[in-house]
Each structure stands twice: as C-alpha cells, then as structure tokens.
Amino acid sequence: MDQESIVYGCIKDISHMQHDMIRRQANRKALLTLPKADEWPYLSQDMFAIPKSELGLDNYQTEVMHFGASYKAVEYEWGLWVKKFEDLLNNMYWISAVVHLETELMGTHTFTWESTLDGHSPGAGISYVRCEWTQENSFL
C-alpha cells in the first residue's frame, strides 16, 4: 500500500473592512488563476472552496477560504508544495493561513502563516510573515 498524505487548511481574511469587494474579488481571482491540473506536487483550483465574489451574509467578520487534498507521500516534496502555496498567498489579501499535513509515517504537522502587519496585500512578499510548525504523533 502506498503512503497517503492528507493536506488541508484555510486562508483567512478580514471581511468587515472597507473595500471588502476589492479584497474578495482579488482573492477569488488568485484562486481561479490556479491551474485545473498541476504538476507534482499539485496545488490546483479543485482543492479549494472558491468563495463567491459578491458580499453575502455567509461571513461574520472573517472570510474563510478552505482547501484539502489527498496525495501520495507529498512530504518528500513538501518544500515544493510550500513554495507553490506561498506564491498563491503572495497574490492574495489575508491575515493568516494554516496548513495541516497528515502523514502515515511522519505524523501530523501544522504550519501557520500570520501577517505581522494589518494583513497581507497582494505582491507584498512573504518576508515579514511569521511561520511556525508543530508536529504530533511521529513514528520516527
């Protein structure tokens, strides 16, 4: 049996600020820019619940864009996956992002990106973001 890895999480943005529509539309555009099919390790549109562009009553204060996918041992190419994810984040408005990586042999890992300013703006880079990870249930 092959090693399965599960990747899931969410990207959060403030939705009660001025210019909500601009932020929502930019984030939607960034997600729709992802390929439908991607090269390994893939990061594609199909793994995201892409939010609607219009404002609705479905969010209280935070816009939550969640995602998830099953991979064959993605932990061995994790650096490439994280690079693709950070490229996506760099094209979005957000205040935080969390990625959970569940592996059969290496346990569960949680990666967190938090903007140290009032939120990330597209093109601002990832250099000022605090990123941390935790690990649970390792069999090593």
Full-prediction pTM beyond 0.85? yes
One-letter amino acid at 77 equals E
State the pLDDT confidence band at 19, using cuts at 50, 70 and 90. Answer: low
User: Is pLDDT above 80 for 91?
Assistant: yes
Higher pLDDT, 14 or 77: 77
Which is nearest to 74 in space by CA: 125, 45, 109, 124? 109
User: Is pLDDT above 90 for 119?
Assistant: no
- Distance, CA of 46 to CA of 136 (rounded, Å): 28
State the pLDDT confidence band at 16, using cuts at 50, 70 and 90. Answer: low
Chain-wide mean pLDDT for the chain?
85
Across residues 56-82, what is the average pLDDT?
87
Higher pLDDT, 37 or 90: 90
